Amino acid sequence: MTARVSRRALLAAGGGLLVSVSLPRAEARADDAPLPGSLKDTPFLDAWIRIETDSTITAFTGKAELGQGLKTALVQIVAEQLQVVPARVHLVTADTARTPNEGVTAGSHSMQDSGTALLNASAQARLLLLNAAAADMNVGVETLSVIDGVIQGPGGASRDYGELAAKLSMHVRAQPGGGLIDPAGYRVMGVALPRLDIPAKLTGGAPYVQDMRPEGMLHARVVRQPSAGAELLSVDVDAVSRMPGVVTVVRDGNFLAVVADKEWRAIKAMRALEASAQWNETATLPVQAEAPALIQSLPSRDIPVLTWTGEAMPTIRRISAKYTRPYQMHGSIGPSCALAVYGDDGVTVWTHTQGVYPLRASLAQLLRLPPEKVRCVHVEGSGCYGHNGADDVAADAALIAVVVPGKPIRVQWMREQEHTNEPYGPAMVAEVSGAIDAEGKIVDWTYDVWSNTHNRRPNAGGLLLANAALPDPLPVPPPAPIPMPEGGGDRNSNPIYALPNAKVVSHFVPDMPVRVSAMRSLGAYLNIFAIESFMDELAEAAGADPVSFRLRHLTDERARAVVQLAADRFGWVAKAPRSSGVGRGFAFARYKNLGAYCAVALNVTVEHETGQIRIGRVVAAVDSGQPINPDGIRNQIEGAMVQSASWTLYEEVNFDRRHITSTDWSGYPIMRFPAAPASVEVHIVPRPGQPFLGTGEAGQGPMAAAIANALRDAAGVRVRDLPLSAGRVKAAIGV
Amino acid sequence: MITLTVNGHQHAIDAEPDTPLLYVLRDELGLNGAKFGCGLGQCGACTVIVDGSAVFSCLTPIALLPGRPVTTIEGLGTAAAPGPVQRAFITEQAAQCGYCIAGMVMRAQALLARSPTPTEQEIRDGMNPNLCRCGTHMRILAAVRRAAGMAPVQKADAR
């Protein structure tokens, strides 16, 4: 049964809060009810919250700050539920020696998993403290209030959290619920608290793993295999060993690295080593232009996503279309970096991985050490947007550290190493067919999507890049699909629209011609691009306004509210005046159909002669459930849309049969300031008390489709292959 | 030994003359603001100011620098007392991961020193050498406008 706490709670009284609770009964057992968020896996309160006798509050999360504002949001949750000012909360993030195992920080899950766990753990910790205070003061708990961590009782009596915590064990199992502050009384959650990490980042603080400089640190650089499977024939180790500052050269099979006292000397030695290395290479890559067709033709495992069978309706028109995306890269501005030190206790690795625990398991296998001899500590890096080189460089650092025991080894990849070795977002193909009836409603829908896996994150040593270079490589686990409802290649392939007849099939392609893994929003980027482009194509076939056409097929009230808000704030009217070269586009999706809702309306101008698309005003509406930090939500959605605009307008990894040729920013251009939108507005639909909905990836898909739809409106062309590059648009226009 | 003037202080540097300024700032002087991004002058993460101009510190060997004052983001202010451009970035919350942001601030600082009331196009063109991957462009532009004393563009009102 559920331990209950009365909801009626909060009467703001002179800055304090009067909290009335009824206590969990002694016999209350919660073992059979599911615990919220990550409390499911880590149920003891003291794994999440600790309060020292000096009233210091430490909160623990297994998730990592990736630049998404996670630390600030989690501190807000803890401060709210413990009724303290945010500055009192010290947050410890992902560390295999200290924090809960919350897997990877990915999939817009952090607030749902860790935020929900900390919300409940903090609330229940506050209840324990209130109960202890009531017993100590011999008063009813309903007479107590909390002001910044000091419990106020009748007649001026007070107890601070620290003195109560000293007499109290927090090593108790969490309850399924109880003690939560009424959202109507929130003072910290739902507020645009400035990000706690920004001042240091703007003043040369040392928040990044790249900035760590422990005593005795040495700099290492790796010479990577120039192509997959390349064999090292010869290399002049002796000459490089004699270069200034070089401590050692590491050669183990095809794994090649150099260690030096200073970073620039390590780089020069690495360049010399690289120049002297002779490799035997084979052509392993496909023909770039044929990549989508290849993905569609390789053997696949066909996974039914959904079949809706209703009444067969008379149709007046059926249309079909095919959409593709190329390989695209995460493109972190800072190449991946890690530090590792090896000693009697094993190896400690400081890393910007998204998953310290899975990385620990992988490194333990790679180093042939027991997992307890490997500690992974998350330290921020450059934004990653998915599985980039973070784990692989951690493996490099660990392998080198074992060769130079006792010395912290810092490895940072060079730009071309990040560009050519990170696992890319997979190339994909989607085919869709739809039929409409005489009333302009969709009566039939079929959708097929072809994709590789979107998850090659290391949970085994065989998945780390360096493994393939070693003389005794570990076996490489086969790729696996991520099951729906979250999905991988099929993420968001299930339409959110109410359709009487629909069939969706995901064709999972195990063979990976190019190294791929998770990139922000996974398959949702292409699936939403395809579905939302196709919704406009169907609306056009039905002679309907795109916004009304969507609303006609949406029954979820929250979805409708978001669509309506974006349209209203944009000033969308059904019959807008048209002018050549100027167009507007709309798109909407609910991320994974279970996360945040996001609608985008925007306008573009298209330069007829060049095919160049310029993005004008962008208006988005988003529903993330209970907002923790509205400005954090806006920052994430703005960033997602601008990043997606870059993917959508410019980005495609180039390669020949042997090498990735997008080796730097000239070979893989991304959006620069002159091409950024004229303006971006994000409007939030607040949903007080509703569950947190993952937001970080919700903007990627809708932005892509909104641009394609605006291109159609502006220039009369429908481009279905990403990116919507100037060359491709120009060819479609036919000038 | 090469003598460099960084943020108003003189430093005798024991490094090879071809060493790019970036590595001296970071590893010899412990100044973390300038970041390695590409080593090619394509991304601007390493931007600092030399003789009043924004330069790529990853491409500037220290042999070229004696007698030429270097300013890094650490020279503009501190977290407790940020300079005007830093303050504008904080007010606009113009960072996500923040790896590019010190370079952005230095680029903006040099731009505004040269052109105190830039047009929107001048700001965009001026910031062109620097890349951001989180998509924080709109906030960075707003911060530069704010630092220039221009009216901030309207922000969304749903708080």
Q: Classify residue A577 by burial, with Cβ atoms within 10 Å: 0-12, 13-18, 19+.
A: exposed
The share of chain A scoring above pLDDT 90, in percent, equals: 93
What are A729's two structure tokens? 């648009």
- Report pLDDT for A348: 98
In the predicted structure, residue A354 carries a pLDDT above the cut 50: yes
Cβ contact, residue pair A666, B38, below 8 Å: no
Residue A3 placed within a domain: no
DSSP string, B19-47: SBHHHIIIIIT---SS--S-SSSSS-TTE
Q: Which domains does chain B have, with CATH numbers?
A: 2-75 (3.10.20.30), 84-147 (1.10.150.120)
Question: Angle, to 10 degrees, between the axis of helix B137-147 and the axis of helix B101-114?
Answer: 40
Enter the pTM of the model: 0.95
Q: What's A400's domain CATH number?
A: 3.30.365.10
Among left, alpha and beta (phi > 0; psi -120 to 50; other), residue A712 is alpha
Least confident among A53-57, A126-130, A598-602, A653-657:
A53-57
Of A396, A421, A446, the residue that ends a domain is A421
Question: Would residue A484 count as lying in a domain?
Answer: no
Angstrom distance (rounded) from CA A390 to CA A372: 21
Can you give the three-state secondary structure of B59-97, one letter per residue? HCEHHHCCCCCEECHHHCCCCCCCCHHHHHHHHCCCCCC
Helix, strand, coil shares of chain A, percent, nearest 5, are: 30, 25, 45
Q: How far apart are CA B131 and CA A670, in angstroms?
A: 8
The answer to whether residue B90 scores a pLDDT higher than 80 is yes
For residue A219, being part of any structural domain is answered with yes
Amino acid at A267: I
pLDDT at position A578 is 82
Torsion from C-alpha of A691, A695, A699, A702, nearest 10 degrees = -30
For an interface test with B, which of A65, A193, A201 has the most B Cβ atoms less than 10 Å from its Cβ? Answer: A201
Nearest to A420 by CA among A652, A227, A273, A649: A227
CA–CA min distance A71, chain B (Å): 12
Rounded to the nearest 5 degrees, what angle is found at the Cα of A702, between the Cα atoms of A698 and A703?
105
% of chain B exceeding 90 in pLDDT: 92
3-state SS assignment for residue A637: helix
- CB < 8 Å to B57, chain A: none
Please check whether residue A301 touches B, CB under 8 A. Answer: no
CB contact under 8 A, B159 and A192: yes
Higher-confidence residue: A29 or A83? A83
- State which amino acid sits at residue B132: C
**Of A583, B133, A114, A382, whose CA–CA distance to A393 is shortest?**
A382
Chain A residues with CB under 8 Å of B107 CB are none
A422 vs B: CB within 8 A: no
Model confidence at A603: pLDDT above 50 = yes
In this prediction, residues A416-437 reach a mean pLDDT of 98
Angle CA A258–A261–A264, to nearest 5: 75
Residues 6 or more apart whose Cβ sits within 8 Å of residue A485: A494, A592, A593, A594
- Whether residue A437 contacts residue A334, with contact meaning beta carbons closer than 8 Å, is answered with no
SS3 call for A641: helix
Mean pLDDT of B49-58: 97
Do residues A624 and A686 both lie within one domain?
yes
Q: What are phi and psi of A40, to 5 degrees?
A: -50, -45
Confidence (pLDDT) at A30: 47
Contact criterion met (CB < 8 Å) for A202 and B98: yes
Looking at residue A31, its pLDDT comes to 55
CA distance A108 to A568: 27
Q: Say if A673 is an interface residue toward chain B (CB within 8 Å).
A: yes
Q: Is the pLDDT confidence value at A6 over 80?
A: no
Residues A408 and A546 reside in one and the same domain = no
* Residues A66 and A163 both lie in one domain: yes
The C-alpha torsion from A334 through A61 and A147 to A88, rounded to 10°, is -40
Q: What is the mean pLDDT of chain A?
A: 94
Cα B11 → chain centroid: 21
Convert A30-53 to b/e letters by CB count within 10 Å (16 or more is b): beeeebbbbbeebbebebbbbbee
Residues A95 and A213 in one domain: no
The tally of domains found in chain A comes to: 3
User: Which residues of chain B does A385 touch, with a Cβ-Cβ cutoff of 8 Å?
Assistant: 133
Q: Are residues A275 and A146 in the same domain?
A: no
Q: What is the pLDDT of residues A302-345, one digit of tens each?
A: 999 999 999 988 999 999 999 999 999 999 999 999 999 999 99
Average pLDDT over residues A529-533: 99
| Contact residues, chain A, for B2 at CB < 8 Å | none
Place of tokens 């959605």: A637
Do A671 and A651 form a contact (C-beta atoms < 8 A)? no
In a domain, A495, yes or no: yes
Per-residue pLDDT tens for A74-106? 999 999 999 999 999 999 999 999 999 999 999
| Chain A contact probe: residue of B133, B139, B141 with most A CBs at under 10 A | B133
For residue B125, what is the nearest residue in chain A, using CA coordinates?
A674
Inform me whether the pLDDT recorded for A433 exceeds 70.
yes
Whose CA is closest to A662, among A677, A672, A652, A671? A652
Residues A187 and A224 in one domain: no
Q: Is residue A17 situated within a structural domain?
A: yes
Q: A659-695 pLDDT, tens per residue?
A: 999 999 999 999 999 999 999 999 999 999 999 999 9
Please check whether residue A416 lies inside any domain of the structure.
yes
Q: Where is the domain boundary, A159, A183, A200?
A: A200
A142 and A269 belong to one structural domain: no
Q: Is the domain of A654 the same as that of A702?
A: yes
CA A328/CA A232 separation, integer angstroms: 29
Cβ–Cβ below 8 Å for B16 and A200: no
CB contact under 8 A, B15 and A262: yes
Residue in chain B closest to A620 (alpha carbons) equals: B156
Distance CA(B8)–CA(A199), nearest Å, equals: 22
Is residue B12 within 8 A of residue B25, CB to CB? The reply is no
pLDDT of residue A18: 33
| Residue A25 near chain B (CB below 8 Å) | no
Cβ distance of B131 and A208 shorter than 8 Å: no
The answer to whether the Cβ–Cβ distance between A205 and B32 falls below 8 Å is yes
* Domain interval for residue A165: 11-200
Residue A288 within a domain: no
pLDDT exceeds cutoff 90 at A15? no
Is pLDDT at A22 greater than 80 in this prediction?
A: no
Residues A187 and A248 in one domain: no
Mark whether A46 and A189 lie in a shared domain: yes
The tokens of A505 are what? 């099939």
| One domain for residues A79 and A178 | yes
Residues of chain B with pLDDT > 70: what percent? Answer: 94
Q: Where are the beta strands (DSSP E) in A116-201?
A: 145-147, 150-152, 158-160
- Are A450 and A519 in the same domain? yes
| Window A:332-361, CB contacts with B under 8 Å | 332-335
Determine if the peptide bond prior to B118 is cis (ω within 30°): no
What pLDDT does residue A706 have? 99
| H or E element in which residue A412 lies | strand A409-412
pLDDT at position A128:
97
**Which residues, including other chains, have CB under 8 Å from residue A336's CB and lie 6 or more apart?**
A352, A381, A388, A389, A390, A392, A393, A412, A413, A418, A422
Check A199 against B82: CB less than 8 A apart.
yes
Residues in A touching B71 (Cβ below 8 Å): none
First to last CA, chain B: 55
Nearest to B137 among A202, A332, A676 (CB): A676
Among the listed residues A676, A613, A615, the one whose alpha carbon sits nearest the alpha carbon of residue B125: A676
Q: What percent of chain A has pLDDT over 70?
A: 96
- Summarize the confidence of residues A29-56 as an average pLDDT: 89
Whether B128 sits inside 8 A of A674 (CB atoms) is yes
Q: How far B27 CA sits from the closest chain A CA (Å)?
A: 8
Element (H, E) at A269: helix A263-276
- Strand-pair partners of B159: none
Report the half-sphere exposure of A212 (CA within 13 A, side-chain side).
26
Q: Which one of A146, A167, A200 terminates a domain?
A: A200
Minimal Cα distance from B14: which residue of A? A262
A216: in domain: yes
**What residues of B are in contact with residue A210 (Cβ under 8 Å)?**
35-36
